[in-house]
């Protein structure tokens, strides 16, 4: 009997709970949900507040749904910086997690226009919706390894 792949959705926000529920109800037959990130083979980071160490990342596949367009806006508060810098667009970056901070190879950047009346909060809220759409679109492909990533 082969061992099942263990999946964990790491998040500190309600959007992560939605992604976790989606994952639980759409698991491939060869997968189960893990109770914590240490036990997982595949981790999905959805607005998570912890940085995984290089040692922790060994023998795991980890993906991050990052608020902001990489490589321009790594770290947190990218919606604030997009408003301050008067950017025309904002986006969510799906990337592999590596030992750096938001430096892993990019799988997709999904951009949208910043409207004149947008605030950092409204961009963040719009970004959460895009995160769920991307999670929905990519979950099975990422679990099966059916994707391409390019260096930043």
pLDDT tens for residues 70-104?
A: 999 999 999 999 999 999 999 999 999 999 999 99
Report the SS3 class of residue 116. coil
Check residue 9 and report its DSSP letter: E
- Are residues 134 and 65 in contact, defined by beta-carbon separation less than 8 angstroms? yes
Residues in the chain: 152
- pLDDT-based confidence at residue 7 (cuts at 50, 70, 90): very high
Question: Is pLDDT of 2 > 80?
Answer: no
- Are residues 71 and 90 in contact, defined by beta-carbon separation less than 8 angstroms? no
DSSP assignment of 16-50: HHHHHHHHHHS--TTEEE-SSGGG-SEEEEES---
Question: Is pLDDT of 1 > 80?
Answer: no
Q: How many whole angstroms separate alpha carbon 114 and alpha carbon 112?
A: 7
Average pLDDT over residues 128-150: 98
pTM comes to: 0.95
């Amino acid at each position: 009997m082969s061992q099942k792949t263990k999946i964990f959705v790491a998040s500190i926000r309600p959007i992560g709970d939605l992604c976790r529920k989606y994952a639980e109800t759409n698991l491939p037959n060869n997968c189960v949900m893990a109770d914590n990130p240490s036990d997982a083979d595949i981790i999905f980071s959805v607005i998570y507040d912890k940085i995984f160490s290089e040692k922790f990342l060994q023998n795991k596949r980890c993906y991050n749904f990052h608020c902001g367009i990489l490589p321009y806006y790594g770290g947190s508060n990218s919606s604030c910086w997009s408003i301050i810098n008067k950017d025309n667009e904002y986006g969510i970056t799906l990337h592999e997690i590596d030992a750096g901070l938001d430096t892993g190879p990019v799988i997709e950047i999904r951009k949208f226009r910043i409207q004149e009346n947008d605030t950092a909060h409204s961009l963040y809220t719009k970004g959460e919706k895009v995160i769920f759409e991307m999670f929905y679109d990519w979950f099975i492909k990422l679990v099966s390894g059916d994707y391409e990533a390019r260096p930043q």
